[in-house]
Chains A and B, each alone.
Chain A
Amino acid sequence: MKTNQDIGSAFKKKLEDLHNSPDDFVWDDIEKKLKKKRRRLLFWYFTFGLGILIVSLFIFNPFNSLNESQHHNLNTQEQPLELVEQETEIKTSANANFKVENNEDANIISDTNSTSNSNLEHNNSNQQTHTNSSTKNQSSTTNVSATINSKTQDNVSKQYNSNSKNALQNRVTSEKQQLDNVVVNKNKIDTISQPSMVSITETKASNSLNGSISNNQTALKSSQSTTPTRDKNALAESSIERAKDSLLNIDNEVLAISEDKEKIEEALEKDEKVKDSLPERKVRWSINPQLIQSNYGAFKTKTTDNTSTNYGILLGVRMTKNTFLRFGVKKLDLMQTVDDVPNSVSFLEIPLEVKYFFRDKNFNPYLTGGISYFMFESSSSDNPVNLEYGDHFSLNLGLGLEHKLFDRFYINLESNFNYQIKPITSNINYTPYIFSIGTGIDYRF
């Protein structure tokens, strides 16, 4: 019986019985592309993470800031403390000298007429003011000194030198003038007879320079009034004696200050030595090609024929005197025989590790630790169960020893243990690991 049907409907009905399968290579291609995609993704994650880490370390550099703070502590706690004390003393005495000298000069210029009492009081008040300001200076200088670097210390030292020299010169000059004035006054006293007020002024006089000057002036004024001739002579002689004592005191101070100067210079030298002993910042990078003997073993199973020779290169950046952050690439062609079935697999290892030296001498033991990203390249196996290797990470721990050959060249020998995190995606009842011994030349620049 003939039944007409639309050709579209007829075709649809007929095609419902169509059964067909794609060739096997279609899935193989899909699988390869999926693995490649995942590998690329992981690689970019790793590279991105590594980049962020390196940039962060360069920006924040916690190791370096630690060093700087240590250095800073050295500056503020050891030699610099001594420096600060000396600087404070110097500043105080130099300032005081300047101010006292100015006052003295003013007193001398205003001559020995009727201002001695007020001068005495003024000088005393000045001394108090200087003492207060000295205290303030001391505390503020101590605070400021926490941030002082060697440069400012040099400046302080220079300033101190010039200030103290000027102060001393001014002081010596004024003392000489004082002595001359006293001699002139003595001559005047010899000719003018006036009553004495010495007992009052002498009790107020001190051994200090300012006191002596004030006393001289007071004595002068007193002697201008009603002192008897004998007392006048005694007064003049005592004034001369005090002036001489003042000069001796100045000499002693000069000696003391020059001793201080020597101490400061010594302290600065020590500071320079400390700086020299700090890490040499110029040596920042290291490059280390390595030849590696790898043992591809496994936990929970016995492996044989698992040794292979591989190679790699590591680039290091110095974080502290004893620490390098290193990364690089290693080409690993690994092999192992499990249950009499040989497997081989190739990886590209990208390690990111910290290398810590216990010391920095001719023979330096060191520790390494970090992670590695393993990029799967190829594999072959006679195992009936297909081992699906893939990209993965590992945890690394190592111990090494390096020897300084000459200048910036070091030879090293190090052992590394890589704990593999899921290197095989298919179900296996063992966990592979890599134990390797590597050697190479480390060049630092």
Chain B
Amino acid sequence: MDLEEIIKACKRNKLKAQSQLYKRYKDDLYILCLKYCKNKEEAQDNLQDSFLDIFDNIKAYKGTGSFEGWMKRITIYKAIDKYKKTQPINIEINDAILEDTSIDSEIIEVIPLDDILKYIQELPTQYRMVFNLYELDQYSHKEIAQMLNISENTSKSNLHRAKHILKQKILNVNPLISKTTINK
């Protein structure tokens, strides 16, 4: 069954098609959830709610644009919704941080992938959101500001803070490497 047939069957609420759609996209969306959530449990919870939203709203998908992109947007918005519910207080930091946030690519290469994910998950939620939206999913600060109900400057500031925290984590966890390879 190709994607178009699966989508049509999902629009008719066919459980078999819904199951196939889940199997096809569960990994991609799960990774997306892992990046936006604090931990695995929260990511799985977000994935479940996202798929339920996808099945509920699939009739609204007109077939224009990437279906995968449409599902990813739903998943991201679900994570943001949860964040808004649990963390209504914005972190409004507008301090100009002029610290360099670049890092030697070789250091990144030696850090295990799970650790990279863990560093992202350990970020404060708003920083994590902004970092993921801007760096990993290519949203602009203007869009992020609208999505998170913050100002563009706050978004920029949050992003810079997130990067700084990530860099510090790498330096703290790998002090030997950092001494020799990380430029400040």
A22 to B52, CA, bound (A): 15
Chain B residue contacts of A11, Cβ below 8 A: 108, 116, 120, 135-136, 166
Chain B residue contacts of A17, Cβ below 8 A: 113
Name the interface residues of A1-38: CB closer than 8 Å to any CB of B: 2-15, 17-23, 26-27, 29-31, 33-35, 38
Chain A residues close to B by CB (< 8 Å): 2-15, 17-23, 26-27, 29-31, 33-35, 38, 388, 390, 425
0/1 interface trace, chain B 29-63, chain A, CB 8 Å (1 if under): 01100110000000110011001100100000000
A3-B105, A5-B104 known; A20-B27 Cβ under 8 A? yes
- Beta-carbon contact of B31 and A6 below 8 Å: no
Q: Which residue of A lies closest to B167 (CB)?
A: A7
* Cross-chain contact of B47 among A7, A14, A19, A22 (Cβ < 8 A): A22
* Cross-chain contact of B18 among A18, A26, A34 (Cβ < 8 A): A34
Chain A residue contacts of B94, Cβ below 8 A: none
- Beta-carbon contact of B105 and A10 below 8 Å: yes
Chain B residue contacts of A18, Cβ below 8 A: 31, 34, 113, 117
Cβ distance B126 to chain A, nearest Cβ, rounded Å: 16
- Beta-carbon contact of A19 and B27 below 8 Å: yes
- Beta-carbon contact of B131 and A31 below 8 Å: no
Describe A's contact surface by its main secondary structure.
helix
User: Size band of the B side of the interface?
Assistant: 35 or more
- Beta-carbon contact of B15 and A9 below 8 Å: no
A10 to B16, CA, bound (A): 40
Q: Which residue of B lies closest to A9 (CB)?
A: B135
A12-B135, A12-B136, A35-B15 known; A2-B26 Cβ under 8 A? no
Asked whether any CB of chain A lies closer than 8 Å to the CB of B83, the reply is no
A441 to B89, CA, bound (A): 64
Asked whether any CB of chain A lies closer than 8 Å to the CB of B174, the reply is no
A202 to B163, CA, bound (A): 137
Chain B residue contacts of A26, Cβ below 8 A: 26, 44, 47-48
A3-B105, A7-B166, A7-B167 known; A23-B52 Cβ under 8 A? no
- Beta-carbon contact of B103 and A7 below 8 Å: yes
- Beta-carbon contact of B105 and A23 below 8 Å: no
Describe B's contact surface by its main secondary structure.
helix
A390 to B31, CA, bound (A): 32
- Beta-carbon contact of A20 and B34 below 8 Å: yes
A107 to B35, CA, bound (A): 119
A13 to B47, CA, bound (A): 23
Q: With A11-B136, A26-B48, A33-B48 given, can you name 7 additional A-B contacts, CB distance below 8 Å? A: A5-B108, A12-B135, A14-B116, A18-B117, A21-B26, A22-B26, A31-B15
A79 to B106, CA, bound (A): 111
A2 to B182, CA, bound (A): 9
Q: 9 tightest A-B contacts by CB?
A: A8-B135, A4-B102, A10-B108, A5-B105, A22-B30, A7-B103, A7-B163, A7-B101, A22-B44
- Beta-carbon contact of A21 and B181 below 8 Å: no
A2-B181, A4-B104 known; A34-B47 Cβ under 8 A? no
12 pairs, CB–CB < 8 Å, chain A vs chain B? A2-B104, A4-B102, A5-B105, A6-B103, A8-B163, A11-B108, A18-B31, A18-B117, A23-B44, A31-B15, A31-B19, A34-B18
Chain A residue contacts of B35, Cβ below 8 A: 15
- Beta-carbon contact of A27 and B13 below 8 Å: no
Chain B residue contacts of A35, Cβ below 8 A: 15
A425 to B103, CA, bound (A): 55
A33 to B104, CA, bound (A): 47
- Beta-carbon contact of A34 and B52 below 8 Å: yes
A60 to B136, CA, bound (A): 64
Asked whether any CB of chain A lies closer than 8 Å to the CB of B22, the reply is yes
A20 to B111, CA, bound (A): 18
- Beta-carbon contact of A27 and B22 below 8 Å: yes
